[in-house]
């Protein structure tokens, strides 16, 4: 089984390399093709796949224990990194939150969805999408609340008059829900709750669009790596990548297997979801607060390359548990 999964992982990384070469050669032009392809993926193809998948999930069998086995250790580590960075001092106000999200927010859509489809099939994808459905909402909401409170305290310390946390948090919550990843998941769950069948033509259209997600997102990762590369702040990027690729999946494995009692496919999916490289939302978060952009970019690139080595190791570990 492990050799088959490793073969599929090598095939996934091969497509990423193709995207990287295409980006380096400029065969798609030099007018930011990664951004154009990213918009197409996030606004057309990924929403179609997520809506179709979530609209078919059985609510009665929703794996709440599996979700808890993932999110309890992830949120705990995220808050630990945030507290550690705040305790260090000497950093920009938003830096602890940016480093916390970089150490814990995985590439659950661009790389996670293709990986789940290729390695675990539709059963694994259903579990993975339930994680995705709460991933951004949970991590981004918690960290946005923390960083906005930090900024509000800083503005109050400096005598600013607009330090109203409530309005900022409401606006952040609205922007989190009206999102090309979160919104189709919520819409799919709502359609599922209604119990209405999806019209055959609509379902076929969603199927055709969803089938483009795997190759498009893998090529997009390669294009992004070609565009950003491994830039400055390498030391911080290495530390954050180790936290994301090694410590986080280890904690999820221990909590999931020995506390929540997970085995087999559910355990494999949550551990591999935790073992994913740093997601692009970490860079978006850093850009929003104009801090640690170079470090987040380097961590995304470095962890994506290193994932080719750490993923087989974690797959071997979960496949050899007693």
Question: Which DSSP string corresponds to 59-72?
Answer: GGG--HHHHHHHHH
Q: What is the pLDDT of residue 234?
A: 78
Averages of pLDDT over runs of 10 residues in the chain (322 residues) are 61 83 88 78 83 79 86 96 88 90 90 82 86 81 79 68 59 66 81 89 93 80 72 80 97 95 92 91 77 80 85 88 80
At 110 the pLDDT is: 74
Domain 2-319, CATH among 3.40.1500.10, 3.40.50.10470, 2.10.260.10, 1.20.1530.20: 1.20.1530.20
pTM to 2 decimal places = 0.74
Nearest one of 311, 314, 317 to 107, comparing CA atoms = 311
In the chain, count of helices (H) and strands (E)? 15, 0
The owner of tokens 């459905």 is 133
- Looking at residue 23, its pLDDT comes to 87
**How far is it, in rounded angstroms, from Cα 68 to Cα 255?**
10
Task: Specify the pLDDT at position 175.
Answer: 58
pLDDT of residue 162: 52
CA distances from 52 to 32, 58, 66 (A): 30, 13, 21
Residue 12, C-beta contacts closer than 8 angstroms, at least 6 positions apart:
111, 114, 115, 118, 218
Residue 32 is predicted with a pLDDT of 77
DSSP assignment of 124-165 equals HHHHHHHHHHHHHHHHHHHHHHHHHHHHHHHHHHTT-S---H
What pLDDT sits at residue 80? 96
**What per-residue string of b and e applies to 276-302 under the rule 16 or more CB within 10 Å gives b?**
bbbbbbbbebbeebebbbbbbbbbbbb
Q: Where are the domains of the chain?
A: 2-319
N- to C-terminal Cα distance for the chain? Answer: 16
- What is the model's pLDDT at position 314? 92
Q: What is the pLDDT of residue 250?
A: 97
pLDDT at 292: 79
Query: What is the reported pLDDT for 267?
Result: 94
Q: How many residues does the chain have?
A: 322
């Amino acid at each position: 089984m492990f050799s088959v999964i490793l073969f599929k992982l090598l095939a996934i990384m091969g497509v990423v390399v193709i995207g990287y070469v295409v980006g380096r050669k400029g065969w798609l032009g030099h007018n930011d093709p990664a951004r154009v392809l990213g918009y197409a993926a996030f606004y057309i193809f990924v929403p179609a796949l997520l809506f179709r998948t979530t609209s078919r999930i059985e609510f009665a069998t929703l794996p709440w224990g599996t979700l808890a086995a993932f999110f309890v250790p992830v949120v705990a580590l995220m808050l630990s990194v945030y507290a550690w960075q705040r305790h260090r001092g000497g950093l920009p106000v938003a830096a602890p939150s940016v480093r916390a999200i970089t150490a814990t927010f995985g590439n659950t859509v661009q790389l996670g969805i293709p990986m789940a489809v290729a390695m675990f099939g539709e059963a694994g994808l259903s579990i993975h999408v339930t994680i995705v459905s709460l991933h951004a909402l949970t991590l981004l909401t918690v960290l946005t609340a923390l960083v906005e409170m930090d900024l509000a305290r800083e503005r109050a310390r400096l005598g600013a008059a607009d330090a109203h946390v409530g309005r900022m948090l409401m606006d952040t919550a609205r922007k989190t829900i009206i999102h090309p990843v979160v919104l189709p998941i919520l819409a799919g769950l709502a359609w599922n709750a209604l119990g209405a069948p999806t019209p055959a033509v609509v379902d076929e259209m969603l199927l055709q669009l969803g089938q483009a997600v795997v190759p498009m997102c893998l090529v997009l990762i390669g294009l992004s790596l070609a565009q950003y590369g491994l830039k400055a702040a390498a030391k911080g990027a290495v530390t954050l990548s180790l936290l994301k690729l090694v410590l986080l999946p280890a904690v999820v494995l221990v909590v999931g297997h020995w506390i929540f009692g997970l085995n087999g496919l559910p355990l494999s999916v949550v551990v591999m979801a935790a073992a994913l490289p740093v997601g692009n939302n970490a860079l978006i978060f850093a850009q929003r607060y104009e801090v640690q952009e170079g470090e987040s970019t380097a961590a995304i690139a470095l962890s994506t390359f290193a994932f080719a080595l750490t993923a087989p190791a974690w797959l071997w570990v979960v496949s050899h548990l007693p």
